Structure 1
Amino acid sequence: MSKFDLVIRGGTVFDGSGGEPFAADVGVNGSIIAAVGQDLDGKEVIDAKGCIVTPGFVDPHTHYDGQITWENRLSPSSDHGVTTVVMGNCAVGFAPCRKEDRQIMIEVMSGVEDIPEVVITDGVPWKWETFPEYLDFLEKRESDIDFATLVPHGAVRVYAMGKRGADRELPFIDDLREMTRLVREGVEAGALGVSSSRTMAHRDNKGRLAPVETSGDAELLALARGVKEGGGSCFELVADFNDVELGGLSEFEIIRKVAEVSDCPVNFTLVQGPHMPDGWRVILTETEKARKEGLELFGNVSPRGVGMCFGLNLSFIPFSFCDAYREIANLPLEEKVARMRDPEVRKAILSAKMEDANHTMVWLAGMFDKMVPMDDSFTYEPTPEQTVEGRAKAQGRDPREVAYDLLLEEDGNRILYLPVTNYVDGTLDVAREMIDSDATVISLGDGGAHYGLICDASYTTFTLTHWGRDRKEGRFPLNRLINELTRRPALAVGLTDRGLIKPGMKADLNVIDFDNLTLHNPVVRNDLPHGGRRMVQKVDGYVATMVSGQVTYRNGEPTGALPGRLVRGGSAKQSKAA
């Protein structure tokens, strides 16, 4: 028997199907899995003894639209076993876009996804106007992982309507027809589908609602028709579902209609949060019912709280919204820390009233009952006693004072983590209930965005360690979790060639030292264009990660191999296969 190009030998295979694990070697030829069996021989061998072998993870919800244009590593996702990402979510992106509208797209992306405007201005090369031209540019990009994209509703609306679209005016019939055409054009060129959004939280960097947030049902259905006509494989949507707590289902009903018109899977964000403390269960039940009726709906859920990170070297701290802090907010970290240690500055900040046009952020910044320091004892499922408020009660102090002192630890590098969603009464039981439904997909990594506020791209590692190994009660079988991170999300976005360890499938693979898999706390790096900052989160335990048969990471370090490419879907994929 001839040797395979590469063999992963002696590991326990979790093939992504959800079936029971088994001992086997995995043989790879070129970019394809060629064999799964015993005693395979390879020109190159990776020793997987004592390790688990899994398909590469698929993250359906990222925002690497900009990052892929200026760098070749889609970190932090690629640090955590992810081998395919879908970007262009939440209706934001950079194509289609006329030259005169670029500033609108920059301001929207900057505000909605917390990417500094100067990073986008310096980093994005703007060598396109239409969506097909954007894909042609991406076709030439090399990366450590594969990337696919959605057509963003916001860009489509502004391209079709100009300033009227940016100002959220109602579309005319001709505007809707043009939106359908633009989506069809993008999908035919290779986008997987389209993304939209209807949430009051999405605003540009000047605090204005993003262009699509008040769009009507007719507009969403126009997008759905474009996906259908272009042969697309998914539709992504973010909605507030504000009517659910009052007994309404109008937002969910439009999701059903979109699924019917687009004739493809619809992925929507499902979270438990202050705006929907109990209504998420109603949505989950309705989704399960719709799936039994034949509609492919997937609630995209986070396996932990969608977490905001506050720090002196990040976008916000709990005291960002008072004049006393604003006066020193832009100082270098060392100088800022020194000023904050001054008793007079401390008194001024702690006694100030927090005020800002962004009332939501002011409110969140005061949630000390959930906020917890990311120190050596940090856990994503903290007990109430570990929170800032819990510590303050134990010390007989004001939570604001405790938070202030914690921020100054580690020379001002301490981060306070706030699990905004899914964390109730000191547990993640809500997240567990969501994961346990066959109507959901684990997702919401948000890699490539929220560089100074959210670091959730490590959710894949967290899913394995917390829900598969470390939690005292309520763990899931590991074979199920790996299915939730591989084959299931791949199918939810129409990618049928990956997510399984099976001959003929794409050779995207992980070799993981599961017993020693360790997630470290985030740290800040200033390595974006124009010296922009971002959080990165390292991990131990990934022995090797492979994309298209090439080893891209060994023991957590990049090998320099860049086999990742644009994944085209829709008509473009079909014509290429023919």
Structure 2
Amino acid sequence: MSLDVIIRGGTVFDGTGRPGFRADVGIREGRIAAIGRIADPADRVIDAEGAIVTPGFVDIHTHYDGQACWDETLAPSSLHGVTTAVMGNCGVGFAPLHSGDEETLIALMEGVEEIPGVALAEGVGFEWESFGDYLDRLGERSHAVDLVTQVTHDPLRLYVMGERGAAGEAATVDDIAAMRKLAAEALRAGAYGISSGRTDVHKTAHGTDTPARTSTGDELEGLAAALRDAGHGVFQLVSDFRLADGPNAFDDEFDLVERIARAGGRPVSVSLNQRDLAPDQWTRILDRVEAANAAGLAMKVQVAARGIGVCLGLETTLNPLMAFPSYRAIHHRPLAERVRTLRDADFRRHLLTEERTRLSGPDSPVPPLADAVLERLDFFSLRMFRLEDPPDYEPPMADSLYYVARERGVGVMEAIYDVLLEEDGERLIYFPIYNYSRFDLADLRTMMTHPQALFGLSDGGAHVGTVCDASFPTFLLTHWARDRSRGERLPLEWLVKKQTRDNARHMGLHDRGVLAPGMKADINVIDFDRLRLPRPRIVHDLPAGGKRLFQGAEGYRATLVAGEPIVLDDALTDARPGRLLRAGSA
């Protein structure tokens, strides 16, 4: 038989969790036609000698809702082996939409997911009203990877309740019925799930709570019931489980998660992170998740690949100098000009003696956590590190800027000031906020290996000025399977399975995630020995000249979507075989 593509001579990790085996992979008409020793001719042969061959990665937690409207490549995720991206997470999105509410949804996405409002205003278009209309517009574009959508709680609430919804008022019985109906319609139009957010870290660009943050249990049950009405879908939830209200509030909040699971009758996933205010809360979440599953509820946790951290620098959204009036007076100037000013001895001396101002508060999307960090900077500097090339995402405390300051005999802020000026002001500081309370990733490894854990939380497309975690899929392989030196590693075949078959099955995607005849030919060919992450860098490629952190990868010989190479030798091709997936359609 004649084939379109043969991937020849690689070590196949097929996504089932079995150890790698040497085989060729044959592709015809976008599907895997054969696996084994293949002698048939092919139009294209990809040399996989010395490489591993895996299914394409399924990233279940991205925020490409905006970027998908203007960027066909969906980079950087497409450069990290991702062939299917699930967006519409955390309750924020762009549909349904009443004409005139565009700025409200822009402020919501800008505040929660830190995507510049000017980029969204110029790039999104907003040529829809219903969720189905939104899917139609997305479906008109070709992309490098396949896209999966979820209907999001916040715009749904705004559409039904208007100003009452934005103000966080309790939904009436009629409001809940209307949201349920619209959510079911969205699911029938092709959405794969529903998402909602209940964390006080998420604020709009105006510093106000997100519309659905304090929604009642009745509202959440009504929303989840749309899954039962439509007969398919998942529910994704982010919550801090009322951490600020103390440990006694936890169980009442988790009870709401169980109500969601019962009302929807479909799988629910909740974000799982370790937070400093309650460094063992994650264990309580896992205890409740285990109990829920024992009671017959389908419940999972989404876990990260490393510490959830921010990059601090003179070109990023946040850095410690922003709390000083002298810096705020110059922070809009070009980088080179700021660096010259900051190197001036008199300016430096004056700034370091100034009293800090608050960054959070009314009309500010900056969370109170930022001010809490500055108030206890000596302590938190123990978790601030120079981000080198290649970056170390599990650095020891001894490498922290706290010890840099001690060795120099200066204050922590003075040391941070000087580090930010390194490399002509392009130096980045890595600050893992979540999952690093004990200064390593041992607790995170326990979360990752829990039976109900899903690999997610990359936030691809979001937090563009502080975070660059779309590289999670690559990091899972390099750090956890190959390079980790501060604790146990994890088997490569298991890491592949977790971010291919397991994620695909959770989302109801049964045509991908495993390399087997008949399955969709979404495939990675990876030079595992050479695979590495470079340091993130600032690029100016968003609409309206916006900037973002960008981190590529080295070691991807090829990434194929439906049998077409979208990446060859770490570079994107012109192929755009990705499509919008609609639940319930072939």
Instruction: Give the shorter-chain TM-score range.
Output: over 0.9
Contact 2:521/2:562, CA 8 A, preserved across alignment: yes
Counterpart of 1:355? 358
- Tell me, what secondary structure is at the counterpart of 1:345? helix
The answer to whether the aligner puts 1:7 opposite 2:10 as a matched pair is: no
- Tell me, what secondary structure is at the counterpart of 1:540? coil
- Tell me, what secondary structure is at the counterpart of 1:271? coil
Q: Distance in 2 between matches of 1:345 and 1:114?
A: 30
Counterpart of 2:271? 269
Selected match of 2:422 from 402, 409, 412: 409
User: Deviation of residue 423 (structure 1)?
Assistant: 1.1
Counterpart of 1:107? 107
The answer to whether the aligner puts 1:548 opposite 2:548 as a matched pair is: no
Q: TM-score, with normalisation over the residues of structure 1?
A: 0.96
Paired letter, 2:27 = V
Paired residues for 1:519-530 under 5 Å:
519-530=533-544
User: Deviation of residue 99 (structure 1)?
Assistant: 1.3
The answer to whether the aligner puts 1:435 opposite 2:448 as a matched pair is: yes
Deviations 1:500-540 (A, max 9, x none): 00111111000001011111110000010011001111211
Q: Distance in 1 between matches of 2:285 and 2:516?
A: 35
Q: Distance in 2 between matches of 1:40 and 1:13?
A: 17
Counterpart of 1:25? 24
Deviations 1:63-103 (A, max 9, x none): 10010111111011111001101101111111101112111
Contact 1:28/1:549, CA 8 A, preserved across alignment: yes
Q: Distance in 2 between matches of 1:248 and 1:317?
A: 32
Q: Distance in 2 between matches of 1:236 and 1:370?
A: 30
Deviations 1:99-149 (A, max 9, x none): 121111010100001111111111111110110000010111111111111
Paired residues for 1:270-285 under 5 Å:
270-285=272-287
The answer to whether the aligner puts 1:566 opposite 2:580 as a matched pair is: yes
Aligned residues: 571
Counterpart of 1:311? 313
Counterpart of 1:300? 302
Q: Distance in 2 between matches of 1:65 and 1:561?
A: 21
User: Deviation of residue 328 (structure 1)?
Assistant: 0.8
The answer to whether the aligner puts 1:466 opposite 2:475 as a matched pair is: no
Counterpart of 1:455? 468
Contact 2:158/2:165, CA 8 A, preserved across alignment: yes
User: Deviation of residue 292 (structure 1)?
Assistant: 3.5
Contact 2:26/2:38, CA 8 A, preserved across alignment: no
Q: TM-score, with normalisation over the residues of structure 2?
A: 0.95
Paired letter, 1:347 = R
User: Deviation of residue 61 (structure 1)?
Assistant: 0.5
Q: Distance in 2 between matches of 1:21 and 1:195?
A: 36
Gaps of 5+ in 1: none
Contact 1:260/1:295, CA 8 A, preserved across alignment: yes
Counterpart of 2:236? 236
Paired letter, 1:564 = G
Paired letter, 2:65 = D
The answer to whether the aligner puts 1:259 opposite 2:261 as a matched pair is: yes
Q: Distance in 1 between matches of 2:346 and 2:117?
A: 33
- Tell me, what secondary structure is at the counterpart of 2:101? helix
Counterpart of 2:84? 84
Counterpart of 1:210? 210
The answer to whether the aligner puts 1:62 opposite 2:75 as a matched pair is: no
User: Deviation of residue 202 (structure 1)?
Assistant: 0.8
Deviations 1:161-182 (A, max 9, x none): 0111011111111000001011
- Tell me, what secondary structure is at the counterpart of 1:62? coil
Counterpart of 1:173? 173
Deviations 1:395-430 (A, max 9, x none): 222111111111111111111111111113321111
Q: Distance in 2 between matches of 1:368 and 1:152?
A: 36
User: Deviation of residue 26 (structure 1)?
Assistant: 0.9
The answer to whether the aligner puts 1:149 opposite 2:149 as a matched pair is: yes
Gaps of 5+ in 2: 362-366
The answer to whether the aligner puts 1:539 opposite 2:546 as a matched pair is: no
The answer to whether the aligner puts 1:93 opposite 2:93 as a matched pair is: yes
Deviations 1:157-210 (A, max 9, x none): 000001110111111110000010110111010000111011111101111111
Contact 2:199/2:242, CA 8 A, preserved across alignment: no
Paired letter, 1:259 = A
User: Deviation of residue 285 (structure 1)?
Assistant: 2.2
The answer to whether the aligner puts 1:422 opposite 2:421 as a matched pair is: no
The verdict on how the C-alpha distance between 1:289 and 1:346 changes in structure 2, with shifts beyond 3 A counting, is same
Q: Which moved more, 1:226-235 or 1:343-352?
A: 343-352
User: Deviation of residue 235 (structure 1)?
Assistant: 0.6
Which of structure 1's runs of 4+ aligned residues deviate more than 6 A?
Answer: none
Deviations 1:198-224 (A, max 9, x none): 111110111111111111111111110
Q: Distance in 2 between matches of 1:46 and 1:313?
A: 40
Q: Distance in 2 between matches of 1:214 and 1:99?
A: 26
User: Deviation of residue 247 (structure 1)?
Assistant: 7.3
- Tell me, what secondary structure is at the counterpart of 1:486? helix
Q: Distance in 1 between matches of 2:100 and 2:117?
A: 16
The answer to whether the aligner puts 1:481 opposite 2:495 as a matched pair is: yes
Q: Distance in 2 between matches of 1:448 and 1:206?
A: 21
Q: Distance in 2 between matches of 1:378 and 1:502?
A: 35
- Tell me, what secondary structure is at the counterpart of 2:358? coil
Paired letter, 1:406 = V
Q: Distance in 2 between matches of 1:449 and 1:205?
A: 14
Q: Distance in 2 between matches of 1:235 and 1:566?
A: 20
- Tell me, what secondary structure is at the counterpart of 1:58? strand
Contact 2:194/2:233, CA 8 A, preserved across alignment: no
Q: Distance in 1 between matches of 2:454 and 2:170?
A: 33
Q: Distance in 1 between matches of 2:19 and 2:39?
A: 21
Q: Distance in 1 between matches of 2:155 and 2:438?
A: 40
Q: Which moved more, 1:321-330 or 1:307-316?
A: 321-330
Output the aligned Cα RMSD: 1.4
Counterpart of 1:393? 406
Q: Distance in 1 between matches of 2:505 and 2:397?
A: 38
Paired letter, 1:363 = A
Selected match of 1:446 from 434, 459, 473: 459
The verdict on how the C-alpha distance between 1:247 and 1:166 changes in structure 2, with shifts beyond 3 A counting, is closer
Contact 1:33/1:506, CA 8 A, preserved across alignment: yes
Selected match of 1:513 from 527, 530, 536: 527
Paired residues for 1:324-363 under 5 Å:
324-351=326-353, 352-356=355-359, 357=361, 358-363=367-372
